[in-house]
A and B are shown apart, each in its own frame.
Chain A
Amino acid sequence: MLGRLTIEALPLYSAVAMGGALITVFGTLAVMAVITWFKAWGYLFREWFTSVDHKKIGIMYVTLALIMLLRGFVDAIMMRTQQAIAVNSEGYLPPDHFDQIFSSHGTIMIFFMAMPFLTGLINIIVPQQIGARDVAFPYMNSMSLWLTAAGAALVMVSLVIGKFSTAGWTAYPPYSGIEYSPYVGVDYWIWAVLISGIGSTLTGINFIVTILKKRAPGMFLMRMPLFTWTALCTAILMAFAFPAITVVATMLELDRVAGMHFFTNGDGGNMMMFANLLWIWGHPEVYILILPAFGIYSSVVTTFSSKRLFGYTSLVWATCAIAILSFTVWLHHFFTMGSSANVNAFFGITTMIIAVPTGVKVFDWLFTMYRGRIRFHVSMMYTIAFIVTFVIGGMTGVLLALPPADYLMHNSTFLVAHFHNMLIPGALFGYFAALNLWFPKAMGFKLDEKWGKRSFWCWVIGFYLAFMPLYLLGFMGMPRRMEHYDTAAWQPWLIVAFVGAVLILFGLAFLIVQIAVSFRNRAALRDWTGDPWHGRTLEWAIASPPPPYNFAVLPKVEGLDAFHMMKDAGTAYQRPARYEDIPMPKNSLFGMAIGAFAFVLGFAAVWHMWWLVAASAILCAVIVIIRASSDNTEYVMTAAEVEAIENQRFEDLAKAPPPDLEHIPVGVPGAPIPGTSS
C-alpha cells in the first residue's frame, strides 16, 4: 500500500537534517496559520490559485522563485560553511548530507528559482509589451504554473520524507543508477524534473504562439521590444530543449525501476549517451536562463539612459544567433570523455563562436549609454554590474572552451566559479533588475530604492568575494564537491568565499526588507501614471497594475519604442470614443488540480506506490478531457464595466505628480503645456 515508505524515511539520521525538516514543516504550518488567521483562503483561491490571468500567474511564478531562492541559498551557505572549516576534519556535515545539499542547490537554483523567475517575468510583461490582452492559452498557462509548483514541492518534501539525490544536479549515471543509488533521492530528482519540465515545455509552446499570433496591429516582428524577442527565443528553446530532459529522465527512471539498461555499466548500457542527451537540453537551458535577462538589460539600459537602444537590429540577430548556436555546443561539457581531437576542437570552436553575438550585445548596451542621460536606478546599477562582471565570466568560459585548458580545469572550482559568474550576473542580476523595473507595473507601487541599493551592493561585493577565490582554488587543483580536504593552503580562500556568502545573505535579507518596506509605504510609492520610469514600450502605456484585459482598446503600433512614439506624438493617454465588450477567460480550478495530482503521482512513484501512480495519472487525464470538452470557458466584460475601470484610470492620471525628467515628451501627465511659461 505504501510502497517502500516506512517510518525510516524521517530524517532521524542527523540533527542538521532534522532541523531542516522541522523548519520546512513549521514554516509551512506558520504560513497556513497566517492565511487562516486572516481568513484569506477564499480570497487566495478565487483571485489567485484559480486565476488564468497572465499577470497573476506571473506574480505567483516570481513568488515561488523567491521562496526557492531562499531555500537554494540556505544550501549554498551551508556548503560554504562546511568547506570553510573542513580542513583535515569532517566539518559539521557528513558526506551523505553534504552531497544532498550540493545536489539540491543546483536543482533548485536552475529548475525552481531561475526557471519560475524568468517564466514569471515573461508572463507578466510580454503580453503587455506586444499589446495583447492575454496569452494564447490562459488555462494551459495556469497548468504550467502548477506543474512547476508540484516539482518544487517534491524537492521540498524530500527534506522531510526520505532523502534527496546525492548525484548532483546533472545526475550522471551510473552513479544515479539503481546499483549505486538505490534509495529514493534520485527518484525525487527525476520526478521533480519530469513534472516541472512538462510545465516548461508547455510554457514554451504558449509563448511561441502568444508572441507570433497575439501582437497588436502594427507590432511587426522587427518592432517588438528586445525583451519580447528574447522571450520568443527562450520559448523556442524551451519547446525544443525540454523534451530532451524529459526523455533522458524517463529513460533513467526506466533503468531504475524497470530493469532497463540505457545508461548502466553492463548489459550494453552506455553512460556517455546520458551525458550527451542531458547536455543537449542543458546547454540551451543556459540560454533559456540568460536570454530573458539580456532582454531585461536592454529594457533597463534604454529606459534609464533615456535613449534609443543602440543597434536594435544587431541585438535581435545576435539573440537569434545565440539561440541557434546554443544547440551546437553541448559536447564542451565533457571534453574529458575521450573524444577525438577533431570532435573536441569542433565543439571548442562552436562554443567560441557564441562569444561573438554575446560580445556584440555587450558593446551595444555600452553604446546605448553613450550620449545618454543615465539615471542610476537600482535596475541600472544591476545592469552596469552585470556588464562588468559578465565579461569576466565570458572570458573564463572561452578559456574552458579551449579543450586543452579544459583538461586542466574541468570539474575544478574554476568551473564552479565560471558558471556562477555567468548565471549570477547573467541571469539573477537581470531578474533583480526586472524586479525593480517592473514591480510597480505588477503591483501598482514602486520598490524602495534605498534598501534596493543596499541589497545591490551586498550582492555584487558578496559575489566577487564568494567566487573569485574559487577561480584561484581551481588553479590550486581543488575539485568541486569536496566535503572535506587536507590541503591547508585552500582554507584561507574558502574562508574568503564564506565571507562572500555571508554578504550575499545580507543582500537577500535587504531584498526582503526592501519588499516589506515598500509594501508598508505603498501609498507614498504609488505609481499613478503607470509609467514611473519614462518607459518606451507598451507595458507603460496602461495602468499599474493593469486592468484584467490590459488594453481597453488595442494599441496601434507605429514603430519601435511604440509608447515613446505615442508620447512624442501626443497620442498617449487619449480617451477612446467608445468602449467595447471584451471576452475574458474564466478562472479555473483545473490547472491547480492537475498540479496537485501530478505532485501525488510523483510522490507515489518515488515511493513505488504504483496503485496511487495509476490513480493520479487517470485523474489527470480525466481533468484534461473534461476541460477540453467544455465550451463554457469565457465570460464577457461589458463595455460599461470597462468604462468604469478606465474612468478610474483617468482620475488616477490626474493625481500624478509632475515628472522628474529633464526632457519630458509632450503629452505626459503633468508636463508643461507647450506655449506657457514655467
Chain B
Amino acid sequence: MVTQPRASKLFAIAAVCGLAAVTAGCGGDAIPIANPKGPVGLAERDILFRAFLIMLVVIIPVFAMAFWFAWRYRATNKQARYEPDWMSNRIDAVAWIVPTLIVIALAYHVWTSTHALDPYKPLESAGKPLEVQVVAQDWKWLFIYPEQGIATVNEIAFPSGAPLTLRITSDTVMNALIIPALGGQIYAMAGMQTQLNLLADEPGTFVGRNTQYSGDGFADQHFTAKALSEADFEAWVAAAKQAGDTLDATAYAALAKPSSKHPVTYYSSVEPELFVSIIEKYDHGLMTHGAMAAE
C-alpha cells in the first residue's frame, strides 16, 4: 500500500520478511500484531518493522560506542589516550546530521503512510463492501447491520475478502475499538461518529476489544470477530434473522444498562435510524466534529 524509493525496497522487504518469520516462529496467532490477517494490519505492521530497521542505524552504533568507550577509557586503563579538552566540530556536526537524515527519511514515511492508511479511507477490493454500525456500551459492543436489518451483541461477522466499514459511536464513556489481527483502532465517542475500514484476507475468528479503560467491566469487554466465506456469511445472517427479538427503543434502553460478560445476542430486526438516534441523543443537532466528518 505504501510506495517507497526503489533502492531500499529489496532490503526492506527482505528485512521485514525476516522479522515476520522470527515473530511468527515464536508465537503465531498468539501475536496477532506480528501475524496480521488482513492488508491493513499487514501494512501497519510493515511500517512498524521498517521504521525499527531504519532506526537500527542509530541504535547499534550507540550500543557499540557505549560499551566500547566505557571499557576502553576506564580509569584503570593507562594505555588509552587521555585528552581532557578534546573536541571535534566535525563529529559534533555528524551528531546532528545523522539523526536529521534518519528523521527526514521517516518523515517521508509518516506522510505517505498516514495518508495511505487513513482509517477513514474506504478499502478497494473485489468483494462487496459491508457497512456495520458499532455502538460501545458499558461493557459490551453492539453491532447494527443497516442493510441486513439485524443487530448483534459481542459478535461481529463479515465476509472475508470484502471491505468492511465500521461506523462507530459510544453510548457511554470513551471507548476504543481494535481487532488486533486486522489492524486499526479508533476511539468511540458519544455524540460523534468515527470510522474504521478493515479487511480480512481469509476466513477466520479473531478477538476484538475495547482498549480505552472504561470502568469495572472493562477487562471483559471483548468480542468475537468472524470473517466468513460469502455463503457462511449469508447463513449467519439468516440464522440471526431467526432469533426473533426486535431491537426497538425499549429493548435498546434495557440493553444499554451496564452489564459485564454479556452473552452473544442476535436481534432479527432493528428500529430504523437507531444508530443516528443514539448519536443525536447527545448532540442536540449541534453537528459536532464527528458527525460532520461522517458526511
Instruction: Give A contacts to B, CB under 8 Å.
Output: 95-96, 99, 166, 168, 172-175, 180, 265-268, 270-272, 305-308, 310-311, 314, 334, 336-338, 340-342, 344-345, 348-349, 352-353, 355-356, 358-360, 362-364, 366-367, 369-376, 384, 387-388, 391-392, 395, 398-399, 401-405, 407-412, 472, 474-477, 479-485, 487, 489, 662-663
The listed residue with most A CB atoms (<10 A of its CB), out of B32, B74, B75, B94, is B75
When chains A and B are docked, how far (Å) is the Cα of A338 from the Cα of B30? 28
| Those 4 A-B pairs whose CB atoms lie nearest each other, nearest first | A359-B99, A411-B211, A477-B180, A363-B95
Task: Give the docked Cα–Cα distance between A483 and B52 (Å).
Answer: 31
Contact A369-B73, Cβ < 8 Å, known A272-B189, A340-B118, A408-B180: yes
Q: Is A271's CB under 8 angstroms from B174's CB?
A: yes
Q: How far is the CA of A358 from the CA of B59 in the complex (A)?
A: 13
Most A-side CB within 10 Å, residue of B65, B85, B194, B217: B65
B117 closest partner in A (C-beta): A404
Contact of A174 among B51, B87, B111, B190 (CB under 8 A): B190
Stretch at the interface among B37-45, B123-131, B224-232, B243-251: B37-45
* A/B interface sample: 20 pairs, CB < 8 A: A99-B216, A175-B214, A180-B172, A271-B174, A271-B189, A308-B85, A311-B87, A352-B110, A353-B107, A356-B100, A373-B73, A404-B116, A407-B44, A407-B117, A407-B186, A410-B185, A411-B176, A475-B34, A477-B209, A489-B27
| Least CB distance, A300 to chain B, in whole angstroms | 13
Instruction: Decide if B98 touches A359 in the complex (CB within 8 Å).
Output: yes
Most A Cβ at <10 Å: residue of B94, B183, B187, B293:
B187
CB-CB < 8 A to A482: which residues of B? 218-219
Q: Please give the distance in Å from A659's CB to the nearest CB on chain B.
A: 13
- B interface, CB within 8 angstroms of A: 23, 27, 30-34, 41, 43-45, 47-48, 51-52, 55, 58-59, 62-63, 65-67, 69-70, 73-75, 80-88, 91-92, 94-96, 98-100, 102-103, 106-107, 109-111, 113-121, 172-174, 176, 178, 180-181, 183-187, 189-192, 194-195, 207, 209-219, 281-282, 284, 286, 288-290, 293
Closest A residue to B45 by beta carbon equals A408
**CB nearest neighbor in B for A367:** B91
Pairwise interchain contact B31-A476, C-beta atoms closer than 8 A: yes
Does A411 contact B73, Cβ atoms closer than 8 Å?
no
Write the chain B residue with the least CB distance to A86: B219
- CA of A372 to CA of B86, assembled, Å: 9
User: B110–A401 contact, CB under 8 A?
Assistant: yes
Q: Which residue of A lies closest to B65 (CB)?
A: A366
Given A270-B288, A410-B211, A482-B219: A307 in contact with B86 (beta carbons within 8 A): yes
**What is the number of contacts between chain A and chain B, taking CB atoms within 8 Å?**
283
A485, B219: Cβ atoms closer than 8 Å: yes
Other than the known A404-B47, A477-B31, what 19 A-B pairs have Cβ atoms closer than 8 Å?
A: A95-B216, A99-B215, A166-B215, A266-B281, A345-B114, A352-B106, A356-B99, A356-B103, A359-B98, A359-B99, A363-B94, A373-B82, A391-B59, A409-B33, A410-B176, A472-B31, A475-B23, A476-B31, A477-B32
Residue in chain A with minimal CB distance to B98: A359
B45 to chain A, nearest CB (A): 7
Q: Which chain B residue shows the least CB distance to A477?
A: B180
Contact A308 B84 (CB under 8 A): yes
Contacts of A481 in B (CB 8 A): 213, 218
The answer on a CB contact under 8 Å between A402 and B75 is no
Q: Count chain A CB atoms within 10 A of each CB in B48, B195, B293 and give the residue with the most.
A: B48
B114 / chain A contacts, CB cutoff of 8 Å: 341, 344-345, 348, 402-404
**Across the two chains, which residue of chain A brings its CB closest to B85?**
A308
Chain A residues in 8 Å Cβ range of B58: 359, 391, 395
The 8 Å CB contact of A180, one of B81, B103, B191, B215, is B215
Residue of B nearest to A168 (CB): B213
Q: Which single residue of chain B is at the shortest CB-CB distance from A313?
A: B92
Complex: how many Å from CA A467 to CA B281? 43
B-side contacts of A345, CB under 8 Å: 110-111, 114-115
Question: Known contacts being A175-B174, A272-B289, is A266 close to B282, with CB within 8 Å?
Answer: yes
For the complex, give the distance between the alpha carbons of A353 and B101 in Å. 11
Question: Are A311 and B92 also in contact (CB < 8 A) when A265-B282, A475-B33, A476-B31 are?
Answer: yes
Q: Say yes or no: A356-B96 contact (C-beta < 8 A), given A266-B191, A366-B62.
A: yes
In the complex, A183 Cα to B286 Cα: how many Å? 30
Tell whether, in the assembled complex, residue A95 and residue B174 are in contact, meaning their CB atoms are under 8 Å apart: no
Given A310-B92, A360-B99, A408-B45, verify A96-B216 contact (CB < 8 Å): yes
Complex-state Cα separation, A369 to B64, whole angstroms: 13
Chain B CB count within 10 A is highest, among A334, A337, A477, for: A477
Assess whether A408 is in contact with B290, with CB atoms less than 8 Å apart: no
Least CB separation from B94: chain A residue = A363
* Contact assessment for B73 and A305 in the assembled complex, using a CB-CB cutoff below 8 Å: yes
Q: Are A352 and B189 in contact (CB under 8 A)?
A: no
Question: What CA separation (Å) do A314 and B93 show in the bound complex?
Answer: 9
* A394 CB to nearest chain B CB (Å): 8
Q: Which residues of B contact A336 (CB under 8 A)?
A: 176, 185-187
A188, chain B: closest CB distance, angstroms? 18
Given A336-B187, A349-B110, A356-B99; A404-B44 close (CB under 8 Å): yes
**Known contacts A95-B219, A265-B190, A338 near B82 by CB under 8 Å:** no
